[in-house]
Structure 1
Amino acid sequence: MASPFPIPLNALRAIAVVARGGSLSTAAKELGVTPGAVSQHIRRAEARLGVMLFERTPTGLVPTAELWRIRPMLDAGFRMLADAMAALAVERAGILTVTTGSAFAARWLVPRLSRFTGAHPEIELRFVATADVLDLALGDIDCAIRMGRGGWTGALAEKLIPQTVFPVCAPALASRLKRPADLATVPVIRDEGSLISWAEWFAAAGVASPPRLSGPSYTDPIPAIEAAVAGQGVFMAWQLIAADALADGRLVRPFPIAAPTEIAYWFVTTESRSRQRKVRLFRAWLDAELTSKRARPVSGVWS
C-alpha cells in the first residue's frame, strides 16, 4: 500500500512556513536546520511530487498556483496535529503558557498577576515575552496578548481594549508645557518600534503646523518610558503602558488631548485551546482587571 505521505513531515513543515510568507532562514530557524537543508527539502518534495511548489524569483520563493490551492489544507493539518499533541500533554494541564510583548508584561500584566495566581493557585504560569507573532498552532503556547489590528491567520482573536495615545512626562517637566508648540523646547523621547507617530497626536490636537521635535530615541519602549519617568523628556505613551506610572504620580499628562488609534490589545488563542478551563479563567480575569477601577490611571483616559 502506498504511503499517504510521499515526502517527510519536516519537508511539509518547511513548505508551509515558506508559503505563508516566511523565508528559507525563517523556516530553518523554526525547524532547527540550516537554510540549505530547507532548500533541499523543497527541491526533493517537488521532485517526488512531480509538481513545482515555488517559483524562484530574484526576491525569493513565490508559491505557485498549485501550492496556493492546497495551502489552507496544509495549515489546517498542522493545526490539528498541534491540537492533538496538546491534548496528549495531560501532565501539563495545570501550566498556562502565555506569550506577550515585554513592555505590556512588565508595565501592566506582571504587577497584577498575584491576583490571578491567588485566585487560581492550581494554575502555574509560564511566560514567553517577545514582540514576535508566534504561531499558536505550533508548540505549547496556550494564548497570546497581542497589540495590533487583529486578523491573524489561523487564530481566534478577541479584542480586549482599544488603545489611545498621549504625551506623558515627569511632573517637573510638565510645568514647562503650556501648549503643544512648547514641545519644541524640551527633549522628546522616541520609541523606534512604535506603531504610532507624533503626527497623529498633533492632528488630534488640531495643530496644523507641528513644531520640530528632537530628543533621544530607544529601540525598546521600556527604557523609553523609564527615561520619561526620570525627567529626561516627553514620551508618547500607550494608555496601558503608562497606566501605573500615571496612577502613582511618577508621570503626568501635560495636555488633555488623547489620540485614538486603530490599534488594540487582543486576546489570541486557537479554537480548541479556547475551550480549556485554564484559558477561559485567564481570559475572564483579564476582562475583570481591564474593567475594574484599580486598572485605570487616575487621569481616566480609557476609551
Structure 2
Amino acid sequence: MTSKKLPPLSAIVAFDAVVRLGTFTRAATELYLTQSAVSKQIKRLEESLGTQLFERRGNEVSLTGNGAVLYRAVTQSLQCIKEAVQQIDSAQAPGLSIAASSGIASYLVIPLLSRFRKLHPQVNVRVVAVEDRRAIDFSATDFAIAYGDGQWPALRSQRIAEEEIFAVCIPAYRDRMQVRGLADLARCDLIELESNDPATLSTRQWMRRVGFEGRHQGTILRVSSYDLAIKAALAGEGIALAWAEALPPEVDGQRLCRACPETLLTGQGEYLACPASRELTPLARTLWEWVGASS
C-alpha cells in the first residue's frame, strides 16, 4: 500500500457524496456532475485501491467492509480540512488584542468588549490576562489597560473608569456581625488581597483612608487574587474590598452588599492605552473612538 499513490481528491469527494446521499444520482446533483461522471470517479477509486467499495441494489448503494474502512478515514480527514480552513479564515479576519491584569480583564475588559462586539459581531478578540499589571507589555497587543493618573508621555491613553473602592460582604454576615457603620468593621473578619503592587490597598489600609481610627480585633484571611477575595466574601468569610471599575456581578445587594457607606475615590483610574508612536489599525481606531464616545 505504501507504494501506491493516494487516490485523486475528486474521487474522494465523489465517494463521500455517494455515501452521504445514498445514490449516484443525488451525489451527481450535489457535485454538479452527471451520474456517469460520478460513476467513473468511483470506478477509478475502486481500481486504484484494488477493492470494491459499494454493493449496488438498483439505484441504492451500500458500503462494503473495505468501503466502510475508507469512509471512516475520509470523514475524519475532511473534518480536519474543514477545521483547518475555518482556523485560517479566523486568523485572517480582523481582530483586536487587549492586555490587562486578571481582575480587570474579567470584570472590566470582558464586559467592555461584550458591548463593543454587539456593534461589531464579526470581530475576533484576544484578551491577555497577567497577574501583575506592572508587567504588561504595551507593545505586544493592540491595547492594554494602564492604571494611574493618565500622565504617560510615551502612551496614547483615555480613561475608561475612575478608581472607587468600597467594602463588601454577604448580607447574612453583615447582619450577624451587626455592622451599621465603619467603626463596626473593627470586630469583623477581613479578607486581605496580598499583592506586590504598592498601589493595591489592603482592607485595613482602606479603612484608615476612609476615616477608621480604631484597632482591628478580628481575624485576617489573606488571598492572592481579586477573584479569590470575592469568592471568600461570597462564602461568608468576612469583609473584602471591591473596585467599582471591576465590579463582580455578585455585588447586587442580594449575594454581596456594601458593608458600610464609606467609599474611596483615589484619583487614579483605568485607561485604554497603547504606544503613542503606534499608528492604529482601522479596527483599533474604531474601538478607540467608541470608547471615547462611551466614556
Residue in structure 2 matched with residue 178 of structure 1 by the alignment: 180
| Counterpart Cα distance in 2 of 1:283 and 1:250 | 34
Map 1:86-165 onto structure 2 (within 5 A): 94-111=94-111, 113-130=113-130, 131-132=132-133, 133-137=135-139, 139=140, 141-152=141-152, 154-165=154-165
CA distance in 2, matches of 1:181, 1:257: 11
Deviation track 1:60-94 (CA, whole Å, cap 9, x = no partner) reads xxxxxxxxxxxxxxxxxxxxxxxxxxxxxxx8671
For normalisation by structure 1, the TM-score amounts to 0.57
Within the candidate set 228, 236, 245, 1:240 is matched to: 245
Considering only aligned residues, what root-mean-square deviation do their CA atoms show, in Å? 2.7
- Residues 150-183 of structure 1: per-residue CA shift (max 9 Å, x gap): 4456322222222111111111112221232322
SS in 1 for 2:104: helix
Larger deviation: 251-260 or 193-202? 193-202
Deviation at 1:111, TM superposition (A): 4.2
Does the CA-based 8 Å contact 1:146-1:268 persist in structure 2? yes
Query: What displacement does 1:143 show?
Result: 0.4
Tell which deviates more after alignment, 95-104 or 185-194. 185-194
Q: Distance in 1 between matches of 2:108 and 2:252?
A: 12
Secondary structure at the aligned position of 1:249 is classed as coil
Paired with 1:287 and 1:173, the residues of 2 have a C-alpha distance of 40
Compare the two structures and name the one with the higher strand fraction. 2
Deviations 1:94-113 (A, max 9, x none): 11111111111222332453
Stretches of structure 2 that go unaligned for 5 or more consecutive residues are 1-90
Specify the alignment match of 2:11 in structure 1.
Answer: none
Distance change (3 Å), C-alpha of 1:254 and 1:275: same
What is the distance in 1 between the residues matched to 2:173 and 2:290? 36
* Percent of paired sites with the same residue: 27
2: CA distance, partners of 1:285 / 1:230: 38
Name which one, 1 or 2, has greater alpha-carbon Rg: 2
Distance in 1 between residues matched to 2:92 and 2:138, nearest whole Å: 16
User: How many residues matched?
Assistant: 198
Cα-to-partner distance string for 1:115-162 (whole Å, 9 max, x where unaligned):
32221123210111113433323x4x1001123344456322222222
Structure 2 residue matching 1:202: 3-state secondary structure? helix
CA distance in 1, matches of 2:146, 2:183: 34
Contact 2:159 2:272 in 1 (8 A): yes
Change (3 A) 1:269 1:234: same
State TM-score, norm by structure 2.
0.59
**Shift of residue 269 of structure 1?**
0.8
Which residue of 2 is the match for residue 268 of structure 1? 273
